[in-house]
A and B are shown apart, each in its own frame.
Chain A
Amino acid sequence: MVDQFTDDELARRRAAGRRLAWALGAAVLALYVIGFFIQR
């Protein structure tokens, strides 16, 4: 087990966090937009 996150590791985690955030945001937008095209 690592004692503490290195600066590199922290930077990597922040980058991964940003990617995940964009992905979630895109999913939300997709859900919103696609909804208008669903037909009964």
Chain B
Amino acid sequence: MNTATTTVNGHAGHHDGGHHPTGILRWLTTTNHKDIGTMYLSFALIMFFVGGIMILAVRAELFSPGLQLMQPEFFNQLIGVHALVMIFAALMPAATGFANWQIPLMIGAPDMALPRLNNWGFWLLPPAAILLTMPFVLALFGIGDGAIATGWTFYAPLSVQGGIGVDFAIFAVHILGISSILGSINIIVTIFNMRAPGMTMMKLPLFCWGWLITAFLLIATIPVLAGAVTMLLTDRHFGTHFFNAAGGGDPILFQHLFWFFGHPEVYILLLPVWGLMPHVLATFSRKPTYGYRGQVYGFIAIGILSVIVWAHHFFTAGMPVPALLYFMYSTMAISLPLAVLFFCWIATMWRGSMSFETPMLFAVGFIVLFGIAGLTGLVLADVAADAQYHHSYFVVAHFHYALFAGGIMGVMTGVYYWLPKWTGRMYSETLGKWHFWLTVLSFNLTFMPQFFLGLAGMPRRIPDYALQFAEFNAISTVGSFILGLSQLLFAWNIIQCARGRGAPAESRAWEGAEGLEWELSSPPPHHSWEVQPQVK
């Protein structure tokens, strides 16, 4: 990519003095993309710890056979809410926070196209998070029987049978869905209409491309999820029988609807990360991104494939042989565009002049561990072998390699990469490196044993297990606690930067960084591009 600017914004943020509310009102009413981005990212970080504490309680219970800390009902609530919190309240808001901060900076726009919508998009999140977790609190006061206990997948008829936690989760998912839709609409509109003069679609930074595909996937699939959970709500309370065989319905219909959303959701979580990866790799390899067009086409191909492979999530539910074969081969086909991305990432590093600051470490860690997720995903696509892997800890390990190593470590890459731009301060490189190595080692300590647990036959979502699974579970629990505690370093590093500690960051915080965002001061002025840059 050969973006370069002719104008550099020299105005520091002098424009905002005086006529903006301060304190809490500032944050409630802000329409500034950076404020909203900050709120999204802070919310995501808080919910990351909330979801993390839940799963540490689960891992503690699974440390040894027998029930020590909790009853199965509570265990089932924790695993489901952990997943919902991590997916909808941590990873998705983090990605939206990136989009809010970076897209206007990267395309040379003064702000997002629809700033008030943007404010709404964020402020829907906290009520949704409260709805999701409130049943835990209500249960303490003797109201209801706790949060949703069906796992994050809401499978009917278990969810029809469940308590008020299911209703709370249904409403929370609706609100989170509306928030994502609003965010997506804003991002699409911003990218289509607000690019600086000269920035054609094929000069658009890859991060924006990744998010553009994500936004379209969200718009296409969230309504289906909303429809599915609405049907669930009417089945529960208004006498419909969408998912009840006795009334002419079909429980598997729910799985089709859910995974029509659920599979693209994986790419919704990952595409923003795949988008930011080339920026980080190019920066620290001091070399242009390899295969820009290939990556753009790869994103588009994955976006399209992602909506036609959903049924591989329930091969064991039984379906006609042609359907099994179709979903198997179409799933395998995803490996091809994904291989394009891997190829481009490694080719970007090839013959560069690499240095390994924290973002680069996380990027490399991401590529290797996400590689394991991709390769195990390939074998999971095989219907025959899937009969053994499915519903077992093998799958749990696989999707944590995809969503922790792929999603969350990708987000961490972005945070370390852009933190100097956002806060104007350099984070502590020493702490960052400690954070990286502890995260990578303890992540593998946690999840590698789970592959073997799955192969040996341990089903997922069980609160207690047979004796032959004891050792691997104990190792996994030890790993998970180190992993959880290491994240405090991450939070501390961010907080220190936000408090203005650490060395001041230059406009171009990294030696090899290219792109419009590095032309602005660190932190950027209140209105990002008052004078629009030109892209040659």
Contacts and interface: CB of A to CB of B under 8 A. Distances in A.
A30 B367 CA distance: 39
A3 interface: yes
Given A17-B114, A18-B114, A24 B197 contact: no
Contact of B185 (A4, A24, A35): A24
Contacts of B114: 17-18, 21
Give the interface size class of chain B. 20 to 34
Interface string A9-40: 00001101110110011011101100110001
B197 A3 contact: yes
B226 interface: yes
Interface in B485-536: 531-532, 534
A14 B193 contact: yes
Contacts of B188: 20, 24
A32 B222 CA distance: 9
Contacts of A4: 197, 531-532, 534
Contact of A28 (B186, B194, B223): B223
Given A3-B534, A21-B114, A32 B227 contact: yes
Q: A14, A18, A28, A31: which has the most chain B beta carbons within 10 Å?
A: A28
A37 B424 CA distance: 53
B90 to A, nearest CB: 24
A30 to B, nearest CB: 8
B294 interface: no
B251 to A, nearest CB: 13
Interface residues of A, number: 22
A25 B185 contact: yes
Nearest to A29: B223
Given A3-B197, A5-B197, A36-B231, A20 B224 contact: no
A25 to B, nearest CB: 6
B189 A17 contact: yes
Q: A20, A27, A40: which has the most chain B beta carbons within 10 Å?
A: A20
A17 B188 CA distance: 9
Contacts of B230: 36
Given A1-B198, A3-B197, A20 B189 contact: yes
A31 B532 contact: no
Interface string B32-43: 000000000000
B76 interface: no
Nearest to B194: A13
Nearest to B534: A3
A24 B532 CA distance: 27
A29 to B, nearest CB: 8
Contact of B193 (A1, A2, A20): A20
Interface string B189-207: 1101110011000000000
A21 B190 CA distance: 10
Contacts of A20: 188-189, 192-193
A20 to B, nearest CB: 5
Interface string B357-369: 0000000000000
B7 to A, nearest CB: 8
Nearest to B220: A31
Given A13-B194, A17-B113, A31 B189 contact: no
Given A5-B532, A32-B227, A36-B231, A21 B185 contact: yes
Given A21-B114, A21-B117, A16 B193 contact: yes
A21 B186 contact: yes
A31 B224 contact: yes
B224 A35 contact: yes
A37 to B, nearest CB: 11
Contacts of A2: 197
Interface in B204-227: 219-220, 222-224, 226-227
B300 to A, nearest CB: 18
Contacts of B185: 21, 24-25
A27 B193 contact: no
Given A25-B185, A28-B219, A35-B223, A17 B190 contact: yes
10 cross-chain pairs, A with B, having the tightest CB-CB distances, nearest first: A32-B223, A31-B223, A35-B227, A17-B113, A17-B193, A17-B189, A13-B193, A24-B185, A21-B185, A21-B189
Given A17-B190, A31-B223, 20 more contacts: A1-B198, A2-B197, A4-B531, A13-B194, A14-B193, A16-B193, A17-B192, A18-B189, A20-B193, A24-B219, A25-B181, A28-B222, A28-B223, A29-B223, A31-B224, A32-B227, A35-B223, A35-B224, A35-B227, A36-B230
